[in-house]
Amino acid sequence: MSETHSSYCRLCLHSCAVLVDVEDGRIVKIRGDKHDPIYRGFVCTKGVNQTAFINGPTRLLHSHKRQPDGTYQPIGSELALDEIADKLRGIIDRHGPNAVLNYMSTSGIYVNSINAVFSMAFCEALKTKWHITAMTIDQAGKMTAEAFHGSWQAHQQTGTGADAAVLIGINPLVSMTGFPVGNPGKWLGESLDRGMKLVVIDPRRTDTAKRATLHIQPKPASDIPILAALIHVIIEEGLHDREFVAAEVDGFDLLRTTVAPFAPSVVAELAGVSAEDLVRAARIYAGAKQAYVTAGTGANMAQYGTLVEYLILCMTSLCGRYSRANEIVANPGTLSPSAPFRAQARPPWPIRDVEKRLRVKGFTSTCAGFPLMAVPDEILMEGEGQIRAMISHGGNPAVAWPDQKKTLRALATLDLLVQIDPFMSQTSKMADYVIAPRMSFETPSALWHLDQRATLVHLGLPQAYGNYTPAIVDPPAGSDVIADWEVYYGLAQRLGLQLQLKSINLQDISSQMGEGASKDGVTLIDMKLKPTSDDLIEIMSRGSRVPLADVKKRKAAALYPDPQVRVLAKEPGFAGRLQIGHPEMMGELSQRLNKPAIDPAAGFDFRLISRRMMHVHNSTYNVKAMKNRQDFNPLFTHPADLEQLGISDGETVRITSQHGEVTAVARADVSMRRGVVSITHNFGSAPGEEEKIRSCGTSVQRLISVEVDYDPYTGMPKMSAIPVRIEPERRQRALGEANGVA
């Protein structure tokens, strides 16, 4: 029997609308839904090909327990939860709840929209401070910068009608972020056709940069002085929104004074670009009626992300790129309560939570959470406060966390490591228990997480849009898999904890308060009779702007423009203002002019930057590997640089940083700037298999230090723009043989 179901892809945040063909209870084909009003048939190659992962032979259909000899044997999920709860109880009794850490990454979050809120609820009930996400090795600066700057309590200008866009270290045609959610290629083509000007600032000529009005190709880690130069031009030429700045913004004079030395001619020399291009970019952005500027992982991982994102917010506020009173709110949210959107500024708020202090490097929790880079040290450092147990939810720390060797030592030290994973990933191979979860289309879900980006329309949904999907298929016959949230429910039940869920509040999320939920609308979960996923979706949708029942009736995704929402006027007497001249941020910026973006190091002549590949999602999905093709991450290098080094395309090379060394496969790529090489993160092997680069890829994380050069607020280490030396592996092998090394 053949059936077609409407659903949405849950491999990443983009959440493309798809049609799923099912035969005899088994998914056989996935394709984009051409009738969907947002995605218009778009779905990436990963989404189309995920049937092979759902149905493939490497998928775990039962949970596993590590044996004394290091092998793994299947174990029933209920028995596994019994044993895990017993071990957790013993650890908590001896060392307290802060000996337990929960790590939540992206791969498990989107499969079921309940998973993320349940993992947070578990940590709150357990009373552990350790709820860690991948945010602090990604783009934590977005949250901390907003705390320095403040937030506008309505939308930034919509990307739908943008006349100009400035993209820094981001490639939306591959990463699926940086353009409004939908069909990125069509959106870009249509926007350029109607006259939008696109500025891309990136050391690599990416897919997006090839279509840009202006591509500025700087030296890596030049984003901070470039942003300062753009602000310099906007102020000096009087291109800013004087009325908005006077009414809503503080710090203009200090910002003007601080960026004064960052003249385009000065920054052009620092960044290796044209001064005229910097001036042109500033004029394009400031001269547009509607425009936005945003940065991706390229900029955030290469420098101090907080300062990068703060300067972006300064540009946004200088030009008043916000919706005003009585304008229609393009996306007021659908399955979340719609808080009032007001044309007023929420002033800056505290960045640090001094009550949550780490033992490492004096770090505290911030509005972006605890710095992930400190976790291995907190595991390895003995004494009171030592982390002794970890639940890894949807992540793969063994290859994703910086300083891989330290990470592996830390994971091996834990008294208990639980991995929720549908595959035997590198981290699964180190875990005491591997819990096999349900996968996409085997569980219902609803699109809350896109509501959470409602005030950033250029990065989120351009209109109010809702989608609910029931489970399309049952798990494979004979399997024993459970939804990720059921792991936390089962453990809480066995530990005698009361879980509670909090209703989503859009203003709490949009202002990045760090909580992500309202203090109102708390629902106690029945801890005796386990709810279903649909029960929990109903709870989380209470009070939503559009009732969940209405979304379910549609049987497919749809737009929900009614009831229409408009931006409210500023409250009488409201005194909140945005801060574009925060003294701490301005002090950081002043240091950037005379300090090189990358400290020079003799012999480390190349700069290694990060990149994404369309067929890969983190360390989980690799479409080419599924088709018995490329299962590694090449070192992309300009052909002229390969020739100068005497390296052939496809040859094995050694990459050495000041922290470590790895081998990789060289690949010629004319899109690279000379002197810059690029490689994708989150590849690499399990312990003892370090040199299997053509089957497992290269672990960039071994080149990254967490001891120096990290963001002082988020703790995010430099994970891109790393000084490296590139040499043919055959040369190193020959030297070793000459010295008698086997």
Residue found under tokens 């408009």? 566
Q: Quote the pLDDT of residue 338.
A: 74
User: Strand order in 100-104's β-sheet?
Assistant: 72-75, 63-66, 433-435, 416-420, 389-393, 100-104, 131-133
Q: Quote the pLDDT of residue 452.
A: 67
Other C-beta atoms within 10 Å of 575: how many? 9
515-547 per-position pLDDT tens digit = 333 345 689 999 999 999 999 999 989 889 999
**Inter-residue contact 263 to 137 (CB < 8 Å):** no
543-582 per-position pLDDT tens digit = 899 999 999 999 899 999 988 899 999 999 999 999 999 9
For range 494-523, the mean pLDDT: 61
- Helix 264-271 / helix 223-236 crossing angle, nearest 10 deg: 160
For range 103-112, the mean pLDDT: 77
H or E stretch at 637? strand 635-637
> What whole-number distance in Å separates Cα of residue 452 and Cα of residue 455?
8
Residue 24: pLDDT band (50, 70, 90) is very high
pTM of the model: 0.94
Residue 741: pLDDT band (50, 70, 90) is very low
Q: Quote the pLDDT of residue 515.
A: 34
271-291 per-position pLDDT tens digit = 999 999 999 999 999 999 999
Residue 510 is which amino acid?
S
Residue 453: pLDDT band (50, 70, 90) is low
Residue 618 is which amino acid?
N
Residue 112: pLDDT over 70? yes
**Inter-residue contact 489 to 125 (CB < 8 Å):** no
Strands (E) across 239-360 are located at 249-250, 291-295, 345-346, 352-357
Residue 204: pLDDT over 60? yes
Does 267 or 367 have the greater pLDDT score?
267
Structure tokens at 519: 């203090």
> What whole-number distance in Å separates Cα of residue 299 and Cα of residue 309?
9
Q: Quote the pLDDT of residue 3.
A: 95
